Amino acid sequence: MYDTNYHRASSVEEAVKLRSSQDEARYLSGGMTLIATMKQRLAAPSDLVDLRHVASMKGISVEGRKVRIGAGTTHAEVASSSALKSVCPAICHLAGMIGDPHVRHMGTIGGSVANNDPAADYPSAVLALNATVVTDRREIVADDYFQGMFDTALEEGELITAITFEAPEKAGYAKFPNPASRYALTGVFVAKGASGVRVAVTGAGSNGVFRATDIEIALSASWSSDFVASVAVDAGQLMEDMHATPEYRANLVKVMAKRAVAMAG
Amino acid sequence: MAKVTLTVNGRTMSGECDDRTLLVHFIRDKLGLTGTHVGCDTTQCGACVVHMDGKSVKSCSILAVQAAGSSVTTIEGIASQGELHPVQAAFNQHHGLQCGFCTPGMVMTAVDMINRHGGQLDEVTVRHELEGNICRCTGYHNIVKAVLSANEEMHGASRQAAE
C-alpha cells in the first residue's frame, strides 16, 4: 500500500470539509473494497476520511412504509433489522448474502452504492426499489444515479448520507454468486410497488446495473414466474469474462428473476 | 506516523505505526501477539479474524488507525485463567485442525457465530457462516463438528443455569 494520511470525521460537515481540503482524498466507510484496492496499489488516495464515527449516517428508520437507511449502516445491521424485515425482507436477504460475516460487519450500504461495482448486490435493490440516494447536498433518484460501471451521478467530494425508499408491496432478490468471490455473477431484484413493477439486474450488464424492461412488462401483465419464462433476454449488452459468456448470463437473468418472483410471493 | 491506542484483550495498549499499517501487522509486529495469522492478505481466507468492539472482522483489511479507540479481542484473549475457551476445547476434542494455520481465525469466527445465533445453530448455518474462512487441510468436517459441539456446551450450559 502506498502511504496515506488518515483523518477521522465526526460529522457530515467535517467529512466533506476534510475531503475537499485534499485533491486526492477519498472517503473511507467500511473499507471492504477500498482497503483491498489500496493494498494492491490500484488506488492511492493521499488522504482517507473515515466515516465510521459519523453518528448521523448510521441506523435504520421505518415509519409506516417510509424507509431510511443511513449510509454508514453495515450489511450485518441491514440483514438483521427486524423493522426492515417487517416491511421489506428482500433487502435484508440481499444484505445477508454479501461477502461473508466479517465483511458484513464492516461493509456499508453507502460504500457499496457509492462504489457502484458492476457485480455488487445493493445497486440492484436501490434501482428496483426506486430508491433515493440522499447526499450532503441533494437527493438523487435511482434512475439518474447509476451511470455505468463504477460510475455514478456523484460529484467530486459529494457524500452519500442515506438511502430512502417507499417499502414495496412485494419484493424478492436472487443471485447466482461467483463461488470464489460471492459477488453476483448475476443477481436480480424484483419489486412491485407504488411505482409499478421494477426489475433490476446486477453482475450481468456490460455497463453495470440495469433495468430489465421486458421482464417488467411481463410481470406487470401478470406477477408470476411463468411469465418471466416467456421473455427473451438479449445477450447483446451482457458481460463476457472468464466466469461466464453473455448467453449464459442471459439465461441466468431469467432464472434469477423467476427465483426472485417466487421469493417475493 | 500515528500513535494508536486501543484495548487489546482487556488491556490498554499503544504503538506507533504508519497510517497505512494494517491492524493485523500492528497486532503481530507492534504488540507481539502473533496468534493472529496472515494467510491470503486479500480478505478471503479469514486466518486474521479478530473481534473489534464485539464483532468479527478481518484484521488484514482494516487499518490500525481505524481501530484506534476500539476494543479488540484476539485468539490470545479468549482463554481465561489457564482454561481453554469452550470453542478451543471443542476444536481440540474434535480434532478441528490439521496444520493449525487457519485455526485462530476459525476459532474467533466460531465464537462470534455462536454468540450471534443465541444457541440456534445447525450444520447448514455453520457451513454457510464459515464462508469467509478457508482451511486447506481438514475438509471442514471436524471444524463444523467442533463448532456445533461448542455451541451445545455454551448454550446448553446457559439453558441449564436458567432452569
CATH number at residue B100: 1.10.150.120
The pLDDT, as a whole number, for residue A227 is 84
B152 with B113, same domain: the answer is yes
Q: Which pLDDT band holds residue A226 (cuts at 50, 70, 90)?
A: confident
Contact A103 B43 (CB under 8 A): yes
DSSP character for A40?
A: T
Cell, residue A17: 470539509
Task: Compute the nearest-CA separation of B22 from chain A (Å).
Answer: 9
Per residue in A109-134, pLDDT (tens digit) is 999 999 999 999 999 999 999 999 99
In chain A, which residue's Cα lies nearest the Cα of B18?
Answer: A3
The pLDDT, as a whole number, for residue A64 is 95
Measure the CA–CA gap between A37 and A166, rounded to whole angstroms: 34
Secondary structure string (H, E, C) spanning A164-185? EEECCCEEEEEEEECCCCCCEE
Domain boundary among B34, B59, B77: B77
Show residues of chain A in contact with B65, CB under 8 Å: 6, 8, 50
The pLDDT, as a whole number, for residue B119 is 85
Per residue in A131-147, pLDDT (tens digit) is 999 999 999 999 999 99
Per residue in A159-202, pLDDT (tens digit) is 999 999 999 999 999 999 998 888 999 999 999 998 899 999 99
List of residues 6+ apart from A179 with CB closer than 8 A: none
Is A214 a residue whose pLDDT tops 90?
Answer: yes
Q: Which CATH number fits domain A5-50: 3.30.70.270, 3.30.43.10, 3.40.50.1000, 3.40.50.300?
A: 3.30.43.10
Q: Which pLDDT band holds residue B160 (cuts at 50, 70, 90)?
A: low
DSSP character for A31?
A: -
B153 with B91, same domain: the answer is yes
Is B147 a residue whose pLDDT tops 70?
Answer: yes
Domain boundary among B54, B77, B100: B77
Helix, strand, coil share (%) of chain A residues, nearest 5: 35, 30, 35
Averaged confidence pLDDT in chain A: 96
The pLDDT, as a whole number, for residue A230 is 84
Give the CA-trace dihedral at B75, B121, A183, A131, to 10 degrees. -110
DSSP, collapsed to helix, strand or coil, labels residue A163 as strand
Per residue in B65-80, pLDDT (tens digit) is 999 999 999 999 999 9
The pLDDT, as a whole number, for residue A98 is 96
What average pLDDT does range B27-31 have in this prediction?
A: 97
Measure the CA–CA gap between B87 and B83, rounded to whole angstroms: 11
Domain around B41: 2-77
DSSP labels, A50-78:
E-TT-GGG--EEEETTEEEEETT-BHHHH
The pLDDT, as a whole number, for residue B2 is 92
Looking at domain A58-264, its CATH architecture is: 2-Layer Sandwich (3.30)
As for how many domains chain B has, the answer is: 2
The pLDDT, as a whole number, for residue B34 is 98
Task: Compute the nearest-CA separation of A1 from chain B (Å).
Answer: 7
Closest CA to A56 of A4, A15, A104: A15
- Pick the range with the lowest mean pLDDT from A169-173, A177-181, B15-19, B155-159: B155-159
Is B128 a residue whose pLDDT tops 60?
Answer: yes
Q: Which pLDDT band holds residue B159 (cuts at 50, 70, 90)?
A: low
Is there a contact between A149 and A118 (Cβ–Cβ < 8 Å)? yes
B126 with B152, same domain: the answer is yes
Domain boundary among B48, B77, B106: B77
B91 with B53, same domain: the answer is no
Is B107 a residue whose pLDDT tops 90?
Answer: yes
Task: Compute the nearest-CA separation of A25 from chain B (Å).
Answer: 14
B132 with B103, same domain: the answer is yes
B94 with B72, same domain: the answer is no
Contact A106 B41 (CB under 8 A): no
Looking at the DSSP bridge assignments, the partners of residue A6 are: A48
Cell 488484514: give the residue: B60
| CATH number of the domain to which B31 belongs | 3.10.20.30
Query: Which of A4, A52, A100 is facing B19, going by the closest CB pair?
Result: A4
Q: Which pLDDT band holds residue B41 (cuts at 50, 70, 90)?
A: confident
| Count of CA atoms in the C-beta half-sphere (13 A) of A103 | 27
pLDDT higher for B119 or B69?
Answer: B69
Q: How many Å from the N-terminal Cα to the C-terminal Cα in chain B?
A: 54
Could you state, in order of their start, the residue ranges of all structural domains in chain A?
5-50, 58-264
Per residue in A79-111, pLDDT (tens digit) is 999 999 999 999 999 999 999 999 999 999 999
B91 with B154, same domain: the answer is yes
What average pLDDT does range B93-101 have in this prediction?
A: 95
What average pLDDT does range A64-68 have in this prediction?
A: 97
Cell 421489506: give the residue: A88
In chain B, which residue's Cα lies nearest the Cα of A102?
Answer: B57
